[in-house]
Chains A and B, each alone.
Chain A
Amino acid sequence: MIRLGAGAGFAGDRIDPAVELAREGDLDYLVFECLGERTVAAGQLRRLADPDEGYDPLLEARMRAVLPVIEPGRTRIITNSGAAHPLAAGRRVTEVARALGRPTRVAVVTGDDALAAVRSLDPILWETGEPLSRCPDELVSANAYLGADGIRQALAERPDVVVTGRVADPALYLGPLQHEYGWADDDWQRLAAGTVVGHLLECAGQLTGGYFADPVTKPVPGLARLGFPFADIRPDGAATLSKVDGSGGRLDVRTATEQLLYEVDRPEAYLTPDVTADFSGVSFQQTGPDRVEVSGAGGTARPDELKVTLGFRGGWLGEGQISYAGPRARARAELAAEIVSERLTTVHGIPADAIGVELIGAGAAFRGLAPANEPIEVRLRVTARTADAAQARLVGWEVESLYTNGPAGGGGARTGVQQTLVVRSCLVPRDLVSPTVTIMEER
């Protein structure tokens, strides 16, 4: 039996639940999933500014927290925190381990960088329906979703830590299962079973009550000390999900079912680089407190092409926010929005279609789909997409200047400016992309 633990479900995830798992979970593998769609492109921008950068900014903090508490030779770490620069990330892990006095063998998986491949292939982009070459934005990154094979190859080198760049999230979990159990590359049934386990664990706390809790319909105890899940997987792929005794959260058929279907557009054909998994026959059974059995995954052949995420420079986004409360709060916020929009277009020449207005507290989250009653307070948020930072700063300036030039009672103005990235997708034939494993020197 192999035990896999979820140490992180996104780049900004909490660190203490991973320490708890490392200390008390008796894990074979601790997996940190830390790459969102934009994360690699954002890392690439950092790498362009500093050639030693480009990996997950929290990698060092995670390793400092976890390496001292894992049992050497017992629990191995797998993470995609390498982002846009897995080799630099691997070197950093080696340095952190040395500073901690914990000799650590690090294996790095590269090969997801598909910039050269997409430049020569000129594939059709999903979002625009046109070839990449017709896209006017500056392409900064292109990363293919690798499967489990790179991780499996890395684990054959007996490392303590495996660092990757872009890898399909479930493959971070399927890789060690394939390594340990020797599941064949066309054993679709078991690859699907492992993929289901990976999918359930990849968002960490979302399996144990995070993104689930509702104080009335779905109460979850101890969310401030939410325990991250682990799974015991048997050689046939059947698995038991659980979490550390005494940790916060809940793990039951309801939390598992919600996570099974999270972000799955076609449950009968969940595409990964390793297998086309069929979730439609999956079922759960509660076998004890915070213990759930999962079974019933089906699988068919993997796709011939790999998905590639492309990152483009997207210009700048400026924003300003200000609050109005009490009688006519909404009407005053609307008036403020009109004033700012008029000045951004007429005084500053920002096109009207680049400007966005949200009335937070009056239905903004539902994007106008639901009628909002008169709220006790409304927070106006104005945004504009601009070509440069100076123009973006004008948005916050115009919102702030409402203090003395706008509707009565405007308070709490805040401003912000950020560089944006645009993410698009395409496919490339899988034979154009292959993983490479590099072992970092142990010193």
Chain B
Amino acid sequence: MSELIVDDLADVRAGDKGDTLILAVLPRDGEAYALLAEVLTPDAVAGHYAVTEPVERTELPHLPALVFRVPSVLAGGVTGYSGLDGHGKALGYHLLMLRLEKDG
């Protein structure tokens, strides 16, 4: 179990709203949703994106999906960021590399 990364269980679609990165996590089945709902906590996502402000999570078990709002990570967004990917479209794949560590 400790060898799993998010990419093994789910897809991620990244979107932006100003400075906030929005990550829709789409587990590929109900079992994957249950595991991700347990280990992919707002704190785990905040740590992975190195943000200090709180990350918010919405649970949508029937789809199934989890939606994360990661504040400030886009640092100016489309118009304020000098780097190439102001939208943060590539940043969804960063979440896919998060290693899942489950107790027990």
Contact = CB atoms under 8 A, between A and B. Distances in A.
Interface in B1-30: 7, 11, 13, 15-20, 22, 24, 26
Contacts of A317: 82
B84 A360 contact: yes
Contacts of B83: 356, 358, 364, 367, 381, 383
Interface of B: 7, 11, 13, 15-20, 22, 24, 26, 48-50, 58, 60, 62-63, 65, 67, 69, 75, 78-80, 82-85, 89-91, 94, 97
B18 A370 contact: no
A282 B79 CA distance: 32
A261 B13 contact: yes
B99 to A, nearest CB: 12
A258 B22 contact: no
A258 B64 CA distance: 11
Interface string A352-369: 000010101000111101
A261 B69 contact: no
B66 to A, nearest CB: 9
A267 B48 contact: no
Contacts of A36: 78
A420 B20 CA distance: 21
Contact of B60 (A280, A360, A383, A423): A280
B63 A257 contact: yes
Nearest to A367: B83
Given A259-B13, A268-B58, 12 more contacts: A212-B13, A261-B65, A262-B13, A263-B17, A265-B17, A267-B58, A283-B63, A365-B85, A366-B90, A367-B91, A370-B94, A422-B80
Interface of A: 36-38, 126-127, 211-212, 214, 217-218, 254, 257-268, 280-283, 314, 317, 356, 358, 360, 364-367, 369-370, 381, 383-385, 420-423, 425
Contacts of A358: 83-84
A95 B62 CA distance: 50
Contacts of A126: 18
A217 B83 CA distance: 28
Contacts of B15: 261-264
A258 B26 contact: yes
A261 B91 contact: no
A265 B13 contact: no
Nearest to B23: A261
A44 to B, nearest CB: 14
A238 B6 CA distance: 33
Nearest to A363: B94
Nearest to A420: B79
Contacts of B82: 317, 356, 383-385
B20 to A, nearest CB: 6
B91 to A, nearest CB: 7
B94 to A, nearest CB: 5
Contacts of A384: 82
